[in-house]
Structure 1
Amino acid sequence: MATPARTQPPWREPKSSVPPKLKVWNSLTRTKNDFIPIDPEGKKVTWYSCGPTVYDDAHLGHARNYVTIDVLRRIMASYFGFNITFVENITDVDDKIILRGRQQHLLAQFKEKNPSLTTEVVDTTTKAFDAYLQKNLPLLSPALKPENFNKESAEKYASVIAGKSLDGIGPSSDKEAKIKMHLKTAGSAATALLSPSKSTEVEVEEFYTGAEDVLLPYLDSLYGTSIDAADHSIFTKLTQKYEARFNEDMRNLNVLEPDIVTRVTEYGKQIVRFVDKIVKNNYGYKTSDGSIYFDIDAFEKIEGNHYARLEPWNRNDKDLQADGEGALIKKSSEKRGDSDFALWKSTKSGEPAWDSPWGPGRPGWHIECSAMASDVLGEQIDIHSGGIDLCFPHHDNELAQSEAYWSSKAGGHQWINYFLHMGHLSIYGSKMSKSLKNFTTIREALSRGDWTARSLRIIFLLGGWHDGVEITDNLRKTGSSFESYVTNFFYKVRDLEAHPNNKSSGAEDEKFRQAFEAAKQKLHTALADSFDTPTAMQAISGLITEYNSADKAALSDEVVFEAARWVTRIVRIFGLDGSADPNDDSIGWSGTDIPAGAKEFVYAVSRKRDEVRQHAIAGDLSDEVLTSIISKDKPAQQQDAAAVPYAEVLSTFQQNLKELAQKKAPAKEFLGLCDKLRDLDLWDLGIYLEDRENAPAMVRPVDAELRAAREQKEVIARQKREAKEKREREEAEKKAKLAEQAKISHKDMFRTAEYSAWDEDGLPTKDTKGEDVAKSKGKKLKKEWEKQKKLHEEYLKGVGGA
């Protein structure tokens, strides 16, 4: 039995002659601690971050982790000035990778041998379908036929499908999410098996796509042990593909590259040496199958050594321990303690292997990070980061084995000084997981336009880095509002650069400077308080609010530019402006300026347009005024290729002005030409002129907000147009119907089967049964008769006139 958990050991704060710059939430102490680097001068920081396990595309949950770590890294480097060595690992061999790589290899072989869907293929897939149901959906009947799957699954798993727990009483959980995943997988396979035709190449591929997730485990159960363990390419083919895709995703999310990347497959010898030393330090032991386990009891017998320091309450959680050990490791009865974990796993058939003193094997999940981090960064590291789900068992096991490796006989070695764990991401309450297959990949989200690198990062900045973030409609709106708020601020300042005020400093400047200093102090305090980015974002938006409410006519340009450069620097530190340098003095982030080649011509045509509008509205657009306007800002004869479209807009506008001037066009035609320049000519080039009262038009790019506003305006206009057309159509139909009705004589209108006698004017006197028409009904018929008489007589008059 393992020794019971003891009192948490005291965290030893590093010593430094340099005063701390910030506090960080430290998972080791579960509180905020002064951040003091190991470096005596307080400048250099070593940082190891757990990277991806590369067997599938990264999803938005991964984006939460890596983007948030990137934010903290940027703040520490660019705001607090630390010189960081950032190391990230690539897990390119573990249980999931081995299983996935082997399964994909076997499926590829199966498809290659069976390019057409023979009876044997269908039979194999049917058996795979049956095996999948028996393992994952036990409530269904054995040997359930595909054609009956939808009906029976809807009955047996009705509560899960309805969003409840399996027993129909409580709310759903990860257990029910897995059932839904299995139902979806089995349903896809059933559809493939029931497809009527499977003869064409496309149909064959569709069949395999639908049946893939039931074929993978089934083929593995049949042929998995036949894989050549020495052929590592079976597995690296998978990992190299997804490592490349992960790196591409990170670049698209504007995540800085690591300074050093380590891969498990490149550290086989170092990992063996690391495990060997732990064994020699009497903290590890070998079992008869050639596996090496960490001896928790032996470790904790040494004073100062403690297991499960990050999450001591989970040290006996069997499910978490099993998840950490992996599905492919045989649980050995020779383990000395139930919680002892594998440092080195003896290889079974169908698994890759490396040589070791204990026989062919492969690293345990946790040992890889300990060995790689220690090899690159040494016996003590400032920061270790990762997702919150890695606390136990992964990081707790890392801590124990690394401290066992580095500690003396006295024990108590502190390997990591600060653990930073990023909170989970959930969307409307649902945590994303590869194992649940309920995730949206990063590349899907970006390609569909659900998110941009900036909008997603803003969402993460608006939440605490170690807290969970749930994406809701309100949060999305808040993020979108922040982005628009900052963008519009940059538009205004860029416009000020183009149309300077050149005011001298005065009382309004002093008021705004005070707000500016308060914003800087608020942001600094927030970032120094464990990277409180939500408060930092409030400081930025608060300063912009102060600017928007200020008397801009009394503000000097320089104080506005100074504030805008500060906002620009901070958003760049946060990674919201691509690869832009935070120390560059330029103002704004990408998307707030028009192309450089466009500026000469666009600003010229905007000035001409402003003058034309001003005089047209005032009613003094004389020939002399037009001649003066047209003669200004002629485009050069030659331009760079990129500038040609903008030069053509200027030339065309000048020519159109000349033509209107020659025909003495009214002012409204000149205003119409100005609207066309704004709404069509420049809009189509991605530039918009925003008209303002008593000020030149603001030149700005056409952004998503403008496009959405125009689309909404066009939708409203179309709805109004369609409503008008409908009214006109109904009115025309009503008139046509009335015209046809007018042709009927009032004396004949009631001569129908409904009545049997009429007076000389054609009014009914008896109904179809020969009974007198009631007086009340007779009065009503008389009114209708008089109305028709008038209508018919008008018709006859019109016909006679024609």
Structure 2
Amino acid sequence: MLRIYNTLTRQKEEFQPLEPGIVKMYVCGPTVYAAAHIGHAMSVIVFDIIRRYLEYRGYTVRHVMNYTDVDDKIIQRANALGVDPFALAEAHIQEFRQHLVDLNVLPASANPRATRTMDKIQAMIQGLIDKGYAYVADNGDVYFRVTRVKQYGKLSGRRLEEMQAGARIEVGEKKEHPMDFALWKAAKAGEPAWDSPWGKGRPGWHIECSAMNLSELGEQIDIHGGGNDLIFPHHENEIAQSEAFTGKPFARYWVHNGMLQLGGEKMSKSLGNLVTIEEFLTKHGADTLRMLILNASYRAPITYSEESLHAAEAAVERLRAALRAAPDSAPGAATETLTALAAQAKATQEAFVAAMDDDFNTAGALAALFDLTRAINTARDAGATVRELLPAQMTLRTLTSVLGLRLNARKAADARLDDMVALLVEVRAQARQQKNWALSDFIRNRLKELGILLEDGKEGTTWRWE
């Protein structure tokens, strides 16, 4: 039984989709005004893993991830660069799409854009006005009236009275209440604008997602996801306006990932403490970033450091090493060894499902996979043939693919590392021939400290990651 932590209720709940066998999942995508960083990658990878596991469990997943392609940040950035804001957004969308391919993220069922959903956005705003949940200010702005929503703050756990304390109405704003938020912003000189019943202008950020969601998935969805930095105000406001418009509960499960931290702070463009996806992929494989995320709870903050990257890379190599073929000269393993290997493959599959059913506990799932890698390596060392290892290796390959790990994509840097290790093995072999046992042991011990095990056999020395 799959259980998911629901931010709305602050507890794990049994997962029951609105329609049996079908999951409608909306995940907030990036605002495309600058190069995406690995904090953005973390969110898309988390929900890629969730989607992959739901599909492994037999669900058909309708997965929607939007692009916010008109926003204050895009306009400000375009003005600073002296470029067209639509051209800027389009360039970063195409760049991000390639990053998703590089990161082995499954394509979403749909990638709506705010600029292509304008009719639906305006229809939703008008509906909220007609119902008394929104009002048109005399300057052409349209605001949502938060005081009409009795449970405003139910997602974030904030009370309206507490939010109001310290809040203020900025100069030029025509709000009834300090916490009212913009649904439509009247046109300003030099900014993109669309015709509307309230005059030329553009939509606010929150209404864009609600309208795209409604357009692609309908009035109610199963999972709404995003980073936990979106809980307030973005997702809180989405709930308020969507439920006011439809009169129905919006999303059954609100799922939020933690932040990727660099130097103890959230990685963000505004703080400038970021590593872009492009920069990361020039130095590391996509599996390394995914493993960094898999090693922790998706709801917890993850520390990005050289130490955590090294641990992630070593973990990937352990899995990859377990998939290598047995030597052609393998004589075959004893019956009890093969029986133990088959039993471990079955136990691993059961433990994997049990862990993932517990709010996508990827760290627990990995622990089960490493139990299987040890069993595979033990069987190989005991002489198991390619055919004897294959069933357990297929189980390992299947389960790692559920987590989105490729394991077979080696970077050029990895190939150079292979060459360097092979050279050290060759030097050690010469030292052994010369009976220079001190040098031989030194090379073996130093490589072991780096996570590389040497195995001496009749036909020479082989190596693998520990």
Q: Normalising TM by the smaller chain, what interval?
A: 0.7 to 0.9
* Superposed displacement of residue 454, structure 1: 1.0
Match of 1:339 among 170, 179, 202: 179
**2:276 partner letter:** T
Structure 1 unpaired stretches of 5+: 1-20, 106-232, 301-305, 323-328, 408-412, 578-588, 593-700, 717-802
Partner of 1:230: none
Partner of 2:369: 540
1:144-175 residue CA offsets vs partner (Å, 9 max, x unmatched): xxxxxxxxxxxxxxxxxxxxxxxxxxxxxxxx
Partner of 1:54: 32
- Say whether residues 1:477 and 2:310 are aligned partners: yes
Match of 2:50 among 69, 72, 81: 72
* Superposed displacement of residue 330, structure 1: 5.7
Provide the rounded CA distance (Å) in 2 between the counterparts of 1:26 and 1:321.
29
Provide the TM-score with structure 1 as the length reference: 0.50
**1:349 partner letter:** A
* Superposed displacement of residue 568, structure 1: 0.5
1:568-608 residue CA offsets vs partner (Å, 9 max, x unmatched): 1111121111xxxxxxxxxxx4258xxxxxxxxxxxxxxxx
1:738-783 residue CA offsets vs partner (Å, 9 max, x unmatched): xxxxxxxxxxxxxxxxxxxxxxxxxxxxxxxxxxxxxxxxxxxxxx
Alpha carbons 1:320, 1:392 under 8 Å: kept: no
Provide the rounded CA distance (Å) in 2 between the counterparts of 1:453 and 1:350.
40
**2:284 partner letter:** W
- Say whether residues 1:102 and 2:79 are aligned partners: yes
Alpha carbons 1:294, 1:342 under 8 Å: kept: yes
Provide the rounded CA distance (Å) in 1 between the counterparts of 2:232 and 2:343.
47
Provide the rounded CA distance (Å) in 2 between the counterparts of 1:427 and 1:238.
27
Provide the rounded CA distance (Å) in 2 between the counterparts of 1:319 and 1:709.
63
Percent of aligned positions that are identical: 34
Match of 2:285 among 423, 439, 452: 452
Alpha carbons 1:45, 1:83 under 8 Å: kept: yes
- Secondary structure in 1 aligned to 2:31? coil
Provide the rounded CA distance (Å) in 2 between the counterparts of 1:446 and 1:101.
26
Alpha carbons 1:60, 1:442 under 8 Å: kept: yes
1:343-391 residue CA offsets vs partner (Å, 9 max, x unmatched): 1111222221111111111101100000110111111011111111011
- Secondary structure in 2 aligned to 1:261? coil
**Structure 2 vs 1, CA of residues 475 and 309 (structure 1 numbering), >3 Å: closer, same or farther?**
same
* Superposed displacement of residue 703, structure 1: 3.5
Out of 532-541 and 545-554, give the one that drifted further: 545-554
Alpha carbons 1:402, 1:415 under 8 Å: kept: yes
Match of 1:252 among 75, 98, 102: 102
Provide the TM-score with structure 2 as the length reference: 0.84
Provide the rounded CA distance (Å) in 1 between the counterparts of 2:198 and 2:380.
78
* Superposed displacement of residue 315, structure 1: 5.3
Alpha carbons 2:140, 2:185 under 8 Å: kept: yes
Segments of 4+ moved more than 6 angstroms? 316-322, 711-716
Partner of 1:32: 12
- Secondary structure in 1 aligned to 2:342? helix
Provide the rounded CA distance (Å) in 1 between the counterparts of 2:185 and 2:170.
9
Q: What is the correspondence of 1:87-98 to structure 2 with a 5 Å cutoff?
A: 87-98=64-75
Partner of 1:425: 260
Provide the rounded CA distance (Å) in 2 between the counterparts of 1:550 and 1:342.
63
- Say whether residues 1:524 and 2:353 are aligned partners: yes
Out of 430-439 and 79-88, give the one that drifted further: 430-439
Partner of 1:239: 89
- Secondary structure in 2 aligned to 1:434? coil
Alpha carbons 1:369, 1:398 under 8 Å: kept: yes
- Secondary structure in 1 aligned to 2:135? strand
Partner of 2:447: none
Alpha carbons 1:50, 1:385 under 8 Å: kept: yes
Alpha carbons 1:316, 1:339 under 8 Å: kept: no
- Say whether residues 1:22 and 2:22 are aligned partners: no
Alpha carbons 2:128, 2:134 under 8 Å: kept: yes
Alpha carbons 2:261, 2:301 under 8 Å: kept: yes
1:647-678 residue CA offsets vs partner (Å, 9 max, x unmatched): xxxxxxxxxxxxxxxxxxxxxxxxxxxxxxxx
**Structure 2 vs 1, CA of residues 59 and 711 (structure 1 numbering), >3 Å: closer, same or farther?**
farther
1:685-726 residue CA offsets vs partner (Å, 9 max, x unmatched): xxxxxxxxxxxxxxxx9745424535778999xxxxxxxxxx
* Superposed displacement of residue 430, structure 1: 3.3
- Say whether residues 1:384 and 2:228 are aligned partners: no
**1:84 partner letter:** V
RMSD: 2.8
- Secondary structure in 1 aligned to 2:66? strand
* Superposed displacement of residue 480, structure 1: 1.9
**1:271 partner letter:** I
Provide the rounded CA distance (Å) in 2 between the counterparts of 1:709 and 1:315.
62
Partner of 2:453: none
1:163-216 residue CA offsets vs partner (Å, 9 max, x unmatched): xxxxxxxxxxxxxxxxxxxxxxxxxxxxxxxxxxxxxxxxxxxxxxxxxxxxxx
Partner of 1:724: none
User: Which has the larger strand fraction?
Assistant: 2
1:204-236 residue CA offsets vs partner (Å, 9 max, x unmatched): xxxxxxxxxxxxxxxxxxxxxxxxxxxxx8211
Provide the rounded CA distance (Å) in 1 between the counterparts of 2:197 and 2:416.
62
Provide the rounded CA distance (Å) in 2 between the counterparts of 1:499 and 1:425.
46
- Secondary structure in 2 aligned to 1:288? coil
Provide the rounded CA distance (Å) in 2 between the counterparts of 1:320 and 1:425.
30
- Secondary structure in 2 aligned to 1:53? coil
Out of 481-490 and 453-462, give the one that drifted further: 481-490
* Superposed displacement of residue 277, structure 1: 0.2
**2:155 partner letter:** L
* Superposed displacement of residue 501, structure 1: 3.9
Q: What is the correspondence of 1:96-495 to structure 2 with a 5 Å cutoff?
A: 96-105=73-82, 234-300=84-150, 306-313=151-158, 332=172, 334-407=174-247, 413-447=248-282, 450-491=283-324, 495=325
Alpha carbons 1:55, 1:96 under 8 Å: kept: yes
**2:115 partner letter:** T
Alpha carbons 2:225, 2:256 under 8 Å: kept: yes
Alpha carbons 1:320, 1:393 under 8 Å: kept: no
* Superposed displacement of residue 473, structure 1: 3.6
- Secondary structure in 2 aligned to 1:512? helix
Larger radius of gyration: 1
Structure 2 unpaired stretches of 5+: 429-466
**2:347 partner letter:** A
Provide the rounded CA distance (Å) in 1 between the counterparts of 2:226 and 2:426.
47
**2:408 partner letter:** S
Provide the rounded CA distance (Å) in 1 between the counterparts of 2:219 and 2:277.
35
Partner of 2:450: none
* Superposed displacement of residue 477, structure 1: 2.7
* Superposed displacement of residue 318, structure 1: 6.3
**Structure 2 vs 1, CA of residues 345 and 510 (structure 1 numbering), >3 Å: closer, same or farther?**
same
Partner of 2:449: none
Alpha carbons 2:326, 2:384 under 8 Å: kept: no
Partner of 1:767: none
Provide the rounded CA distance (Å) in 2 between the counterparts of 1:481 and 1:381.
39
Provide the rounded CA distance (Å) in 2 between the counterparts of 1:441 and 1:316.
39
Q: RCO higher in 1 or 2 (8 Å CA, sep ≥ 6)?
A: 2
* Superposed displacement of residue 429, structure 1: 1.9
Match of 1:84 among 55, 58, 61: 61
**Structure 2 vs 1, CA of residues 430 and 38 (structure 1 numbering), >3 Å: closer, same or farther?**
same
* Superposed displacement of residue 558, structure 1: 5.0
**Structure 2 vs 1, CA of residues 557 and 313 (structure 1 numbering), >3 Å: closer, same or farther?**
same
Match of 1:496 among 326, 335, 346: 326
Provide the rounded CA distance (Å) in 1 between the counterparts of 2:173 and 2:183.
16
**Structure 2 vs 1, CA of residues 270 and 560 (structure 1 numbering), >3 Å: closer, same or farther?**
same
User: Which has the larger helix fraction?
Assistant: 1
**2:109 partner letter:** D
- Say whether residues 1:709 and 2:412 are aligned partners: no
**2:335 partner letter:** G
Partner of 1:175: none
1:469-494 residue CA offsets vs partner (Å, 9 max, x unmatched): 11234322321221121122112xxx
**2:34 partner letter:** D
